[in-house]
Amino acid sequence: MYAIATLIDYAVTFYIYILIANAILSWLVAFNVVSPQNNFVRQVGYFLWRVTEPVLAPIRRLLPDLGGIDISPVILIVLLIVLRNLILVDVLGYGRM
């Protein structure tokens, strides 16, 4: 059971890094730091979009319009951290006396 909890911990942490990379790349493209015409940037952006969009789209539908500010990655990161901590507490017994 410890191995499964560790694997889930690593997977959630890796997905959080992917969410952060997606947000940073979107900022870099929005502020014209990197060009979306660059083939490498386009491929990385497409990969990050394909990996994160299925999870972020339902959260975006539930959120009210904030005038161009997308806080769905922040909400998803908080939910993933809470989920990871719940799994670790349940499986590994952290926090129990």
- The confidence score (pLDDT) of residue 94 equals 62
Q: How many domains does the chain fold into?
A: 1
Examine residue 97 and state whether it is found in any structural domain, yes or no.
no
Q: How far is CA 26 from the centre of its chain?
A: 13
Q: Is 37 exposed, middle or buried (0-12, 13-18, 19+ CB in 10 A)?
A: exposed
pLDDT 10s digits, 36-92 = 999 999 999 999 999 999 999 999 999 988 888 889 999 999 999 999 988 888 777
29 is a domain residue? yes
Of 95, 96, 87, 93, residue with least CA distance to 6: 87
Residue 46 lies in a domain: yes
* Residue 13 included in any domain: yes
Domain that holds residue 85: 2-92
pTM of the predicted structure, to 2 decimals: 0.87
Q: Which pLDDT score is estimated for 88?
A: 82
